[in-house]
């Protein structure tokens, strides 16, 4: 009986610390999920005189992938993202974040281009609007233009198989 109280307090403490260990402080839940995707109108990386806005994707399920040539983990996720793009379940649009357009184009011609198109966000203002704080980031947007998922950090086969692919398939089944 004497030890019950300290033991109880200890167990509660262990549970709290245990939960704390499992949490990833780098992963900040995005308030944008379930909200309409912020709009922008930016020049395309390969055809700078043409503009792209997210409205053009209305009626389609698509991914916005934030990348840059200076970003090391973008290189890491590139191969998996390319694999995903080849599956053809959803179009992937790139947002070339705070990058030199020339460097970005070179990066893509070297590694291959998984993107339907990329847009130039040299100042990072669109990125700021989308709440980007660490590249790479990947957003899943539904047919109505609502952000349904955000992946912070590089995507890997597990994330694609267990999160992105099932989500995209469900969203593809939804009415536009």
Partner 1 sequence: MKTIALLMLLLSLNSYAETKVYDFKDPVLEQRYQGLTEELRCLVCQNQNIADSHAELAQDLRTKVYEMLMRGESDQQIIEYMINRYGDFVLYKPPLKSKTLILWLAPLLTVLLGGLGFWAVLRKRSQPQEHLSSVDKQRIKDLLDRTGE
Point out which residues bind partner 1 (CB under 8 A): 25-26, 28-32, 98, 124, 128-131, 133-134
The structure tokens listed for 89 are 């379940």
Q: In this complex, which beta carbon is closest to partner 1, that of residue 113 or of residue 138?
A: 138
* Closest separation in Å from C-beta 13 to partner 1: 12
* Closest separation in Å from C-beta 123 to partner 1: 8
Q: In this complex, which beta carbon is closest to partner 1, that of residue 78 or of residue 150?
A: 150
* Closest separation in Å from C-beta 134 to partner 1: 7
The answer to whether residues 124 and 153 touch, using CB atoms and an 8 Å cutoff, is no
At 133, phi and psi to the nearest 5? -130, -10
Cα–Cα distances (Å) from 40 to 43, 62, 73, 143, 174, in that order, read 10, 16, 25, 17, 25
Q: In this complex, which beta carbon is closest to partner 1, that of residue 17 or of residue 175?
A: 17
The number of beta carbons lying within 10 Å of the beta carbon of residue 133 is 12
The number of beta carbons lying within 10 Å of the beta carbon of residue 156 is 14
Report the distance separating Cα 48 and Cα 104, nearest Å: 13
The structure tokens listed for 81 are 């993202």
* Closest separation in Å from C-beta 128 to partner 1: 6
Q: In this complex, which beta carbon is closest to partner 1, that of residue 28 or of residue 51?
A: 28
Q: In this complex, which beta carbon is closest to partner 1, that of residue 33 or of residue 87?
A: 33
* Closest separation in Å from C-beta 1 to partner 1: 15
């Amino acid at each position: 009986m004497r030890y019950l109280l300290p033991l109880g307090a200890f167990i509660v403490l262990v549970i709290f610390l245990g939960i704390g260990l499992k949490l990833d402080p780098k992963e900040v839940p995005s308030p944008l999920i379930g909200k309409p995707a912020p709009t922008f109108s930016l020049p395309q990386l390969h055809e700078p005189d043409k503009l792209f806005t997210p409205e053009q994707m209305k009626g389609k399920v698509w991914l916005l992938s934030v990348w840059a040539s200076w970003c090391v983990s973008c290189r890491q996720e590139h191969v998996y993202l390319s694999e995903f793009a080849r599956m053809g379940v959803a179009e992937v649009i790139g947002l070339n974040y705070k990058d030199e357009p020339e460097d970005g184009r070179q990066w893509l011609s070297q590694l291959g281009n998984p993107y339907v198109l990329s847009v130039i966000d040299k100042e990072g203002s669109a990125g700021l609007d989308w709440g980007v704080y660490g590249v790479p980031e990947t957003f899943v947007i539904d047919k109505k233009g609502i952000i349904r998922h955000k992946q912070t950090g590089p995507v890997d086969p597990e994330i694609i198989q267990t999160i992105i692919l099932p989500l995209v398939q469900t969203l593809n089944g939804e009415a536009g």
